A and B are shown apart, each in its own frame.
Chain A
Amino acid sequence: MSPNTPEATKKQINVPVMADLAARNESPEILFWVGCAGAFDDRYKRVTRAFVRILEHVGTKYAVLGLEESCTGDPAKRAGNEFLFQMQAMTNITTLNGYGIKKIVTACPHCFNTIKNEYPALGGDYEVIHHSTYLQQLINDGKVGVTGGESFKGRRITFHDSCYLGRSNNIYEAPRDVLAALDADLVEMKRSRANGLCCGAGGAQMWKEAEPGKKEINIERTEEALATLAGKAEALANLGGVETETSTPDAHDLQGSIIAVSCPFCMTMMSDGVKNKEQESKVQVFDLAELIASAEGINA
């Protein structure tokens, strides 16, 4: 989704690393915690890069840990390996405290939840912000105008709630406010917000096969997302686990629709689901940061 940019207006970003800042006796305003998916997963690396473009664009003084970052321990903790979790946590806390880090922004709800809620008991106290909240602040402060790039006006977008952002930490509105700035046609799934259905990857499921069952969870969720975007009333009528009834939707063409996510694992699960349903030519899965960077016209 990057337009051809004239060379003259393209600038290279040298991502500032915390060790270099510390050597110069500088401290950043925020530490961007990239997370393992953001660093290694090819699809989510694009989210990391989009978010860095936004940070550069608004002129925030930020830094990353680079090679000094290590897994927060979230998957180990959810899987019951408390020992490994605490080893990881204390290693990271030693690094973060060594640099005197105060404020952390991350694009991963799992890292966000772990550092914000579980590191304090082990000696790591930071102000931790998920990138959806951070983007919302940038938009509210007028630092990101959401203009000058790709237009999302009228495109159908549905937001898939991440469990570790939503139910775990009660962040439901920030990602929706960010999407609202796109002036798109936002549609809610029947199972949304506190009633949102998991993508299927949490609790360390990302790294194992699902237990025997009738269906994969990400397929169940993708079907709901596609039926919501296409306005298929009959498909939505039979969903299980719906707590609140919603009105009957109108039918729509899927072409150009977007499933918006705010979590690397949701990204993988929903993308796989869309491919499984052979709708990838019509429906795309994007993270909030990608959508904002694209609307702001800063991709190069």
Chain B
Amino acid sequence: MLQSIIFLLLLVAAFGLFAWQVRKVRANILVGRDRDMSGNAAERFKKTLLVAFGQQKMFKRLTPALLHLIVYVGFLVINVEVLEIVVDGLFGTHRFLSFLGPVYDVLMATNEILGALVILAVIAFWWRRNSSAPVRRFTGVELRAWPKLDANIILYVEVILMAALFTMNTADLKLHQLASKDLPGTFPISSLLTGLFPDSVSALEILERVGWWAHIVGILVFLNYLPSSKHFHIIITFPNVWFSRLVPQGQFSNVESITHEVKAMMDPSYVVPPAPTAPDGSALAPTSFGAKDVEDLPWTSLLNAYSCTECGRCTSVCPANLTGKLLSPRKIIMDTRDRMEEKYESPLIFRPNVYGAEAKHEPITDLANATLLRGKVTPEELWACTTCNACVESCPVNINPLESIIEMRRFLVLEESAAPNALNVMFSNIENNGAPWAFSPSDRFNWADDLFATDKQAATVVA
């Protein structure tokens, strides 16, 4: 009874704390600019099914895809057992789902095999990150300090959770064996481990409880760790993929306020629609062109930032990054999340990246006023982008780093006139000659001079 009450309180506290944290995440995302992502439910549903549930884009790289699949399926299936643990904990039952009979046998056996595979996958993951020659995408200026530790904490927690599960099952199994009773369920891994456990009933009872509590408390703690971690992707990937851009990747967003200005310039009779007003009818401050800070980005870009698993596929295929330039699309996404949490709501654990000379950053003295642009993302990074969409294509959860890059370029060009000189020359060529090069517009049709072709019909006649 006491256990049930403690358990109930723990459950309520854990979910309460989680809900409080999710509200903060939601508030952060909503500081972004409006973007209408409604409609196309059927297409969005299909994308969510394929990309989020089906992990379609993960399978471009087979080895990590299979390892990740094990952990993902393990997470989904083992959650059925967590459901049982919650019911047992609340009502003082023991293995409440055992009434399922043979189904329970299959479920427990699947859990155990998946649990063992998860441990193996996690070891492989750990090796890929921490060996003397790690996978290239697990390196980089943005993947040190907290992000690096965070990645390892996730792996350690996953092993601890699996170990707790096996401790619970093995102790339970051995208790039943000692009492010559049958434990419902089939336990292919735990039955191999019973020999390692003590023969004392009281010790086994303690081990069983320790395993049980460690597993469920571990999960509840982990749940509340998620909003501080890249592991939040296990939840937010689904809304993120749902709100994917559905237009061709080459289509950049249109800036409507500029459309009104240009139309008014070209046609003096054009009536510019009134600027939007605040709910109380007062005029809103005019918004800047492009993005200087997180609130200038569309909310979808902020949702993107919370969905990032820091896997670095974007950076690993980026032509600029591959050839040694400063640009790393992953860094821009991680910087966006750091900046959001620095300026607005922060999670329980918040250790934003601070860059120095290695990322060509001036030392930042005033963190609060250091905007996303320049405070975290340097113009040198932004100008290295070829807008090739490789990062967008490679992201397993449909994050679009390119959109943030273009928004910040717009701010540099339109608000600060801070384009590289060569681009300013290109702009004035377009303005003056209608071409990005310094050619005379009157020469535009010269290519058609003295143009001849073989007349194949005539040639046949001659032959």
Given contacts A163-B389, A211-B384, contact A40 B444 (CB under 8 A): yes
Stretch from B121-129, B337-345, B435-443 contacting the other chain: B435-443
- Give the residue name and chain of the A residue nearest to B457 (CB): A9
Q: Is B410 an interface residue (CB 8 A)?
A: yes
Interface residues of B in 49-90 (CB under 8 A from A): 60-61
B255 touches A82 (CB 8 A): yes
Complex contact B456–A83 (CB within 8 A)? no
Docked pose: A225 CA to B204 CA in angstroms:
64
Would you give the shortest CB distance from B244 to chain A, in whole angstroms?
A: 15
Partner of A200, one of B319, B393, B436, B458: B319
Give chain B residues whose Cβ lies under 8 Å from the Cβ of A148. Answer: 456
Q: Which of A48, A77, A90, A163 contacts B447 (CB 8 A)?
A: A48
A118 pairs with B60, CB closer than 8 A: no
Chain A's closest residue to B437 (CB) is A40
> Which has the most chain A C-beta neighbours within 10 Å: B394, B441, B452, B454?
B454
Contacts of A99-119 to chain B: CB distance below 8 A: 113, 116-118
**Using Cβ atoms and an 8 Å threshold, which residues of chain B touch A49?**
447-448, 451
* Chain B neighbourhood of A163, CB < 8 A: 250, 386-390
Q: Judging by beta carbons under 8 Å apart, are A84 and B430 in contact?
A: yes
Known contacts A118-B252, A299-B453: A80-B266 contact under CB 8 Å? no
Main secondary structure of the interface of B (DSSP, over half): helix
**Chain A contacts of B359 at CB under 8 A?**
none
Q: Is the CB of A216 within 8 A of B406?
A: no
Q: Kindly state the separation between the CA atoms of A194 and B380 in the bound complex, as whole angstroms.
A: 26
Pick from B258, B317, B411, B435: contact of A71, CB below 8 A: B435
Nearest chain-B residue to A54 (Cβ)? B453
Contact with A along B232-266 (1 / 0, CB 8 A): 00000000000000011111101100110111011
Q: Whole-angstrom distance between the alpha carbons of A221 and B443 in the complex?
A: 33
B-facing mask of A115-139, CB < 8 A → 1, else 0? 0111001100000000000000000
Among residues of B, the one whose C-beta sits closest to the C-beta of A244 is B60
Closest chain A CB from B429 CB (angstroms):
8
Set A5, A83, A215: member contacting B323, Cβ < 8 A: A215
Interface-lining segment among B2-10, B211-219, B294-302, B415-423: B415-423
A298 to B455, CA, bound (A): 7
Is B143 located at the chain interface by the 8 A CB criterion?
no
Judge whether A60 is part of the interface by a CB distance below 8 angstroms.
Answer: no
B250 contacts A216, C-beta separation under 8 Å:
no
- Give the number of residues in B that approach A within 8 Å (Cβ atoms): 83
Q: Is A40 a contact partner of B439 (Cβ separation < 8 A)?
A: yes
Residue of A nearest to B435 (CB): A36
A86 touches B258 (CB 8 A): yes
- Bound: A298/B420 CA distance, A: 44
Neighbouring A residues of B393 by C-beta, 8 Å: 167, 194-195
- Whether B259 pairs with A122 at a CB distance below 8 angstroms is yes
B251 to chain A, nearest CB (A): 4
Q: Is A214 an interface residue (CB 8 A)?
A: yes
Could you say which of A66, A76, A215 has the most chain B C-beta atoms within 10 Å of its C-beta? A76
A69 within 8 A of B: yes
B415 to A, closest residue via Cβ: A80
Per the CB 8 Å criterion, the residue count for chain A at the interface is 95
B425 to chain A, nearest CB (A): 7
Please, how many angstroms separate the alpha-carbon atoms of A86 and B316 in the complex?
Answer: 33
Distance, CA A39 to CA B453, complexed state (A): 18
Min distance, Cβ A93 to any Cβ of chain B, angstroms: 10
A34 to B447, CA, bound (A): 10
**Are A71 and B247 in contact, CB atoms less than 8 angstroms apart?**
no
CB distance from A45 to the nearest CB of B (A): 4
Q: Which residue of A lies closest to B410 (CB)?
A: A80
- Name the segment of A22-30, A173-181, A202-210, A254-262 touching the other chain: A202-210
Contact status A10-B60, CB under 8 Å = no
What 0/1 pattern do residues 50 to 63 of A give for CB contact below 8 A with B? 00110011000000
On chain A, the residues within 8 Å of B452 by CB distance are: 5, 10-13, 300
Query: A84 to B136, Cβ gap below 8 A?
Result: no
- Which A residues are CB-close (under 8 A) to B422? 207-209
CB distance from A94 to the nearest CB of B (A): 8
Query: Is A241 an interface residue when CB atoms closer than 8 A count as contact?
Result: yes
Question: Which residue from B263, B290, B316, B389 sits with its C-beta under 8 Å from A167?
Answer: B389
With A40-B435, A216-B323 known to touch, is A86 a contact of B262 (CB < 8 Å)?
yes
**Residues of A that sit less than 8 Å from B by CB:** 5-6, 8-15, 17, 34, 36, 38-41, 45, 48-49, 52-53, 56-57, 64, 66-67, 69-71, 73, 75-84, 86-88, 90-91, 94, 113, 116-118, 121-122, 148, 163-164, 167-170, 194-198, 200-217, 219-221, 240-241, 243-244, 296-300
The 8 closest A-B pairs by CB, nearest first: A168-B250, A214-B324, A80-B409, A203-B387, A70-B434, A198-B388, A117-B251, A213-B324
20 contacts between A and B (CB under 8 A): A5-B452, A5-B459, A8-B458, A15-B445, A17-B445, A36-B434, A75-B426, A78-B406, A81-B423, A82-B289, A117-B248, A168-B249, A203-B385, A208-B383, A214-B323, A217-B320, A217-B323, A219-B323, A240-B316, A243-B394
Q: Apart from A66-B448, A67-B442, A202-B388, what are 4 other A-B pairs with CB-CB below 8 Å?
A: A48-B447, A66-B445, A197-B322, A211-B383
